[in-house]
Amino acid sequence: MAEISRSERELALTALARRVLPGGSFGNLSSDIVIGEGRAGRVWDVSGNEYVDFLLGSGPMFIGHAHPDIVAAVQAQIPRGVTFFANSEPGIRLAAAIVDAVPCAEKVRFTSTGTEADTYAMRVARAFRGRDKVLKFEGGFHGMSEYSLQSLAPKRPGNFPQAVPDSPGIPRSVSGDMLIAPFNNADLAASLIREHQEDLAAVIVEPFQRLLPPREGFLQALRAVTAECGIPLIFDEIVTGFRFAYGGAQEYYGVVPDICTLGKIVAGGFPLAAVTGRADIMRHFDRGEVGDNVLPQIGTLSGNPVASTAGLATLEVLREAGTYDRVFATGRRLMDGLTAAIRARGLPAQVIGEPVLFDIVFSEDNIFDYRSGLTQDFDALRRFNLALRGEGVLKGDTKFYISTVHDEADVSKTLAAFGTALDMEVAFRKR
């Protein structure tokens, strides 16, 4: 593994971060790297080390860093004003573009973060149904709210449908309003939904949970049982929206929910997210429609004109012919190359996910839900990620995010890095 050089500037910044930030970081990627610049499919740390970037800001930079169309659009908007706490043309036009693109979208409300969007999606479903409980799936990530941090990553998974709070600071009472089901188990999920239908406000699910594709028929079964019981189905498409297809995972998998949340790609790397869905549900945000039963939703930067401008420019790029074909082709080459490299070395590992979003899993077991995923060797994954970084390839703890601008040089460099990283894992296991 190549030695990564660290400049005095980066070392000083890292030391400053440890002094002023808990854990020396923003709470996201580890604190041992400080990124200084990004262009297209690559980033540079402040020491000048160059990386093929599969972190992509945790996904929003789907069309690459500093895309010239985004830069030009934002530079044109900034002199006109950066926030108004009122309607703006870019925000209105972005909402219209979402309605045109997303199958379930009839009305849109903007937030600044995915956590807010998911929280408001559950809240508006409660307002619509007049019920408190929400069913989510074990291991599903829906932001950082108290409700979302139930059974996200339980160290001792409990019995379904009992929720397990995953961190301190969450009131015990919150667990009583969340029900938990296993992802990809349509029969058990349907049984729990029918059993608790009188108490349920909504069912929320990532249609592609972290790295787990839905089994054939799973999403269709959720759609059928929630429709049967009159319970809103929420798709959390913060990650999958505009990534799996222009209409998101609901277009890709052919299942339309009642509500969905969007983030990351929809704002081109700026802080903006959205709740969207059926008009009869979304009307609960409108005092003119529901009077004193209105659901307040106020955010200083909601619908921010700069973020909306970046979002509009991003969606325009994504509408160009062949965009999705190209990014899926890039992802397939990398998935196939990584799979071939694993097999050539006889390692107990596999590649799971979709071409635009995947990772290696160091396990030969069938991984289909949170509990089956616990069989993997997480230490081997950490070694693999560290070895890739030494070869100039950057990713998060989990997931390769693929961009529309990763090119042949990026793919070739990454395939070579796969080989080196896996050779190092073979050598480690022989010690």
**Percent of the chain as helix, strand, coil, to the nearest 5:** 45, 15, 40
- Domain annotation for the chain: domains and CATH numbers: 8-66+322-430 (3.90.1150.10), 68-318 (3.40.640.10)
> How many angstroms separate the Cα of 344 from the Cα of each of 141, 239, 350, 418?
34, 32, 12, 12
Pairing assessment for the beta strands 200-205 and 133-137 based on DSSP bridges = parallel
Distance between CA atoms of 311 and 395, rounded to whole angstroms? 24
Q: Locate tokens 């509990």: which residue?
A: 371
Backbone angles phi, psi at 107, to 5 degrees: -135, 155
- Predicted local confidence at residue 431, as pLDDT: 87
Q: Which two tokens stand for residue 213?
A: 């594709």
> How many angstroms separate the Cα of 149 from the Cα of each of 6, 139, 208, 282?
36, 10, 18, 24
- Predicted local confidence at residue 156, as pLDDT: 84
- Predicted local confidence at residue 332, as pLDDT: 98
- Predicted local confidence at residue 2, as pLDDT: 64
Distance between CA atoms of 56 and 356, rounded to whole angstroms? 12
- Predicted local confidence at residue 1, as pLDDT: 56
- Residue 262's identity, in one-letter code, is L
Q: Locate tokens 């740390």: which residue?
A: 45
Pairing assessment for the beta strands 200-205 and 107-111 based on DSSP bridges = unpaired
264 near 59, Cβ under 8 Å?
Answer: yes
- Predicted local confidence at residue 31, as pLDDT: 77
127 near 294, Cβ under 8 Å?
Answer: no
- Predicted local confidence at residue 244, as pLDDT: 98
- Predicted local confidence at residue 151, as pLDDT: 95
How far, in whole angstroms, is CA 110 from its chain's centroid? 17
Distance between CA atoms of 199 and 177, rounded to whole angstroms? 9
Tens place of pLDDT per residue across the chain (431 aa): 566 889 999 999 999 999 999 999 998 887 789 999 999 999 999 999 999 999 999 999 999 999 999 999 999 999 999 999 999 999 999 999 999 999 999 999 999 999 999 999 999 999 999 999 999 999 999 999 999 999 999 988 889 999 999 889 999 899 999 999 999 999 999 999 999 999 999 999 999 999 999 999 999 999 999 999 999 999 999 999 999 999 999 999 999 999 999 999 999 999 999 999 999 999 999 999 999 999 999 999 999 999 999 999 999 999 999 999 999 999 999 999 999 999 999 999 999 999 999 999 999 999 999 999 999 999 999 999 999 999 999 999 999 999 999 999 999 999 999 999 999 999 999 98
Q: What angle do CA 264, 278, 369 make, to 5 degrees?
A: 55
Residues in the chain: 431
pTM for the full model? 0.96
Distance between CA atoms of 361 and 147, rounded to whole angstroms? 28
User: DSSP of 334-377, one letter per residue?
Assistant: HHHHHHHHHHHHT-S-EEEEETTEEEEES--S---SHHHHTTS-
